[in-house]
Structure 1
Amino acid sequence: MMKNYSWINKPDKFEENEETLEIKTQQNTDMWQKTHYGFSNNNAPMYLTSSSQKDFVYEVKTEFDSNYLFDQCGIMIYLDEHNWAKFSSEYENDEFQRLGGVVTKNGYSDWATQDIPATVKSIYYRITRESNDFVVEYSFDGVDFHQMRIFNLLFGNKMDEVKVGLYACSPQGKGFTATFKQPHFLSKK
C-alpha cells in the first residue's frame, strides 16, 4: 500500500501495492466547476497525499487505454472542491486525444489543451511547488519534460498544506483502467 495516501471518492474497483495503483473508472465521474458547461462535478476518484513543504517536486507515470469521450487520468493538486488543478490526457477519438489541464479557483474551472496522438498510452507528469505557485510538466519518455502550465492557487493568500496525487474518471464512458506507477516526491532542483 502507498504510504500516507487517502481516498477522496474511493472507486469501487482498484488494486494497489507499494509502487503501483490501478483504478477501474466508473461512468459519470468527473472534476469540473461551472464554467461554460454550467455543471459542477467533484466525484472523480482521487488518491492523495498531503504536503506542507513550501517547495517540492512530485512525479508519476500514467498508463491508460481509454476508449470513451473525456476518459482521463493524471495528476491532481487539491485544496477543496472549489480550488484544485488536474493535468491529464483526455480521450477524444481514434486520431487524437487532448493533453491539458484544468485549474479551478473559487469554484470556476478553466481548461487549456493541446492535441497529441491517440496512440500515446503512457505519460509522465511532474508538478513543482514554489510556495503558492505550481509548474506542471509532462514527458513521453520520463527523461525530456516539457512545460504545460504555470499557475497560482489562492491568489497570494497563505497556503500551508496541499494535497497532491492521482486521479482518473470517465465523465461519459463505461470506464477504463488507469495505472499509476511510482508516484513520488523528488529532491527540489
Structure 2
Amino acid sequence: MNLQELVRDGEWTTEPVRAEWTAGGELLVEAREESDAWRTTSYGFVHDDAHALLAPLGAREAIEVTFVLDYDQQFDQAGVMIRVDESTWIKAGVEVSDGSPQVGAVVTRGVSDWSVAPVPEWVGREITIRASRDGDAITVRARAGDEPWRLVRVAPLSPTADARAGLFCCAPTRAGLVVRFVGHRRSEPDAALH
C-alpha cells in the first residue's frame, strides 16, 4: 500500500483542516490547532483528535511513513499511529519539545506514557518511522534519509488486537502546521529485534 492507496482506502480519525496533493505526489496535511493524542498521565487531560489516516494492520505486518521534518513549534509532531481503540494506541515519530526535535513514542494502554531522544541533526531531512508488528509486540525504528535504523521502542500489543495504522500529525499549541508526507509502505515484519 503506497501513499495514494492509503489516502484512497484509509479513514481519518479526525479530519484535518486540509489534505492535498502536490504536483510532485507529496501529501500536505494541515493540522487543526489544539489537535493531539494523549490520555491523562501527568497532564490530567484526554485528547483524542490527532489527524491519523488509518487502514487495517495485519498481525504480522510492518508500516513505514516518511515525512519532511520542516516544522519547529512546540509539540508539532508527525509519524506513525497504530490504533486499536480510544484507550489503546501507539504514536511514534518526531515531536518538537523544548526547542528541539525529538524522536520518540507515546504508548497508551488506558493511560499514556512518553519517551523521547533529541535529533536536531534531522532538521530539514526526510524522516522514516517504521513500526513492525509481530507476535505480541510493536517494534518502532526511525531514521533520517538512508542512515541506519535507530531502535525507538518495543511496546506490547495483543496479537489478536484489531489494529489500524497509518500516518498522523497534530499541533497541540498552534494553528498552521502543515506536514509534508512523502511516502507510505507496508511490508513483512522485521525478522529479529536485534
The Cα offsets for residues 72-106 of structure 1, whole Å up to 9 and x where unpaired, read as 11111001110000011112355x22211000002
Matched, 1:55 2:56: no
For 2:34, the aligned partner's letter is N
CA RMSD of aligned residues (A): 2.1
What's 2:48 paired with? 42
Task: Give 4+ residue runs of structure 1 displaced > 3 Å after superposition.
Answer: none
What's 2:166 paired with? 165
Where does structure 1 lack aligned partners over 5 or more consecutive residues? none
Matched, 1:174 2:175: yes
Determine which structure has the larger strand proportion and give its number.
Answer: 1
Report how many residues are paired.
183
* Inter-partner Cα distance in structure 2 for 1:77 and 1:174: 24
What's 2:9 paired with? 4
Summarize the alignment of residues 1-189 of structure 1 with structure 2, pairs less than 5 Å apart: 1-2=4-5, 3-16=8-21, 20-51=26-57, 53-92=58-97, 94=99, 96-106=100-110, 108-117=111-120, 120-121=123-124, 122-154=126-158, 159-188=160-189, 189=191
Where does structure 2 lack aligned partners over 5 or more consecutive residues? none
Matched-pair identity in %:
26
8 Å contact from structure 2 (residues 69, 122) kept in 1: no
* Inter-partner Cα distance in structure 2 for 1:79 and 1:178: 24
User: What is the Cα deviation at residue 118 of structure 1?
Assistant: 6.4
Structure 1 length-normalised TM: 0.88
Structure 2 length-normalised TM: 0.86
User: What is the Cα deviation at residue 153 of structure 1?
Assistant: 2.4
